[in-house]
């Protein structure tokens, strides 16, 4: 499993695969009434970037801040920034029933393969 600690050594394909499998398995957005959440503790949900944060790495003060801001503050690594921001955009701006098509298109545009794990 990729976490903030291992993210710098992961390939783009590995990051994409982990996030895609997480989102399509969870099939629900991690949100509050105001904004998307890295972790929704009430429903045990995680957003696209939240599934890349290990339990021991997560801080409540991450909530309400963009991944870019967390990167600027040095809380998350810079590797795969554009990929993670794009995956967050899909999570944040599309309903779960549109994720499959959006993620497939995103993979195609980035030259990544789309490999959904069978669970």
At 57 the pLDDT is 97
Domain for residue 21, yes or no? yes
Domain for residue 2, yes or no? no
At 116 the pLDDT is 74
Residue 74 has pLDDT above 70, yes or no: yes
- Residue in this structure with the two tokens 């290990």, named with its chain if needed: 54
Which among 87, 63, 67, 71 has a CA at the least distance from the CA of 14?
87
Number of compact structural domains in the chain: 1
Domain for residue 118, yes or no? no
Domain for residue 84, yes or no? yes
Mean pLDDT, the chain, integer: 94
What is the span of the domain harbouring residue 11? 7-110
- Per-residue pLDDT band for 40 (boundaries 50, 70, 90) equals very high
Domain for residue 58, yes or no? yes
Residue 31 carries which DSSP code?
Answer: B
Domain for residue 117, yes or no? no
- Is the distance from CB of 7 to CB of 15 less than 8 angstroms? yes
- Per-residue pLDDT band for 118 (boundaries 50, 70, 90) equals low
At 33 the pLDDT is 80
- Average pLDDT on 57-77 reads 96
Distance CA 11, CA 23 (A): 19
At 35 the pLDDT is 86
Domain for residue 116, yes or no? no
- Per-residue pLDDT band for 51 (boundaries 50, 70, 90) equals very high
Q: Residue 38 region, left (φ>0) first, then alpha (ψ -120 to 50), else beta?
A: alpha
Domain for residue 64, yes or no? yes
């Amino acid at each position: 499993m990729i976490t903030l600690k291992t993210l710098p050594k992961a390939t783009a394909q590995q990051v994409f695969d982990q996030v895609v499998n997480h989102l399509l398995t969870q099939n629900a957005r991690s949100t509050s009434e105001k904004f998307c959440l890295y972790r929704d503790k009430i429903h045990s949900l995680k957003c696209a970037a939240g599934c890349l944060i290990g339990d021991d790495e997560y801080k409540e003060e991450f909530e309400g801040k963009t991944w870019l801001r967390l990167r600027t503050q040095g809380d998350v690594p810079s590797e795969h920034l554009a990929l993670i921001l794009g995956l967050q955009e899909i999570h944040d701006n599309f309903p779960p029933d549109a994720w499959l098509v959006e993620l497939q298109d995103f993979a195609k545009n980035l030259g990544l393969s789309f490999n959904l794990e069978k669970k």
